[in-house]
Structure formats: structure tokens, C-alpha cells
Amino acid sequence: MKKGKNNINTGKILTDYIQSHKINKTELGNAINRRGLSILNYTRNSSIQTGILIEICYALKHNFFKEIADQLPEDFTTKNRKDKSLVSEKDQIIAQLQEENKVLKIQNDLLMKLRS
């Protein structure tokens, strides 16, 4: 299979995690109803099917998708709009100005009451 120039090597990510956490490939294979040899193949390949990767995530209680996502450029978007790092600079400035506007309105209201 031809790999794109931006491919993220999931086999290396899996290998690094398995080695650093001393995971037994046969036991991991059993946990996801596959042979240990399959796990070895996943670590040797530079890509993996997402369905298999999600099974491995659950078996190891580790978010490999986040690890992959962290390797993408920061300016890439996601559906998660609550993540402030993904909010554009303009959106941050607008939110700050809206907050300042609220404070100024409250202060103005107080001053008007004091004058009355």
C-alpha cells in the first residue's frame, strides 16, 4: 500500500508504547481476540485500521488517537470547540472584549445610580 508523505507511523507508536510498558504481545492479542502474531504485524506496519486501534486503546486504556492527533499541526480544526487552543486569535479577542463590555456596563450602571 502506498503511504502519503504525511503518514504518521502507528506501528512505531504501538512499538514504543508496548516496549516502554513491557506489554506482552500475546496477552494483548488475547485481550482483543487476535493472535500475538497479529500484534507483531501491527507494530511492523506503518498504518493500522481504526477499528483495530480502538480495540487496542480499550485493552491498554491508552488513547493512541490523541497521540496521533498530537502529531498533527496545531492549526488543524476539530469538532471540539471547547478546546481554547483551537479557538482563533480573533475569537479570543472578541470574547475578551465582550467580557470587558459587561464589566463597563455594570460600572456605568453603578455610576448612573450614584448620580441619581
Residues in the chain with pLDDT < 70?
1-3, 80-87
Arch. (CATH architecture) of 1-72: Orthogonal Bundle (1.10)
What mean pLDDT value characterizes the chain? 88
Dihedral sign for Cα 78, 72, 43, 21, please: negative
**45, 8 in Cβ contact below 8 A?**
no
What is the model's pLDDT at position 50?
95
pLDDT for the residue 62: 96
pTM of the model: 0.65
At residue 91, the pLDDT reads: 80
DSSP string of 65-77? HHHHHTTS-TT--
**Domain ranges within the chain, ordered by starting residue:** 1-72, 77-116
CA atoms within a 13 Å half-sphere pointing along the CA-CB vector of 63: 5
* Cβ within 8 Å of residue 110, ≥6 positions away: none
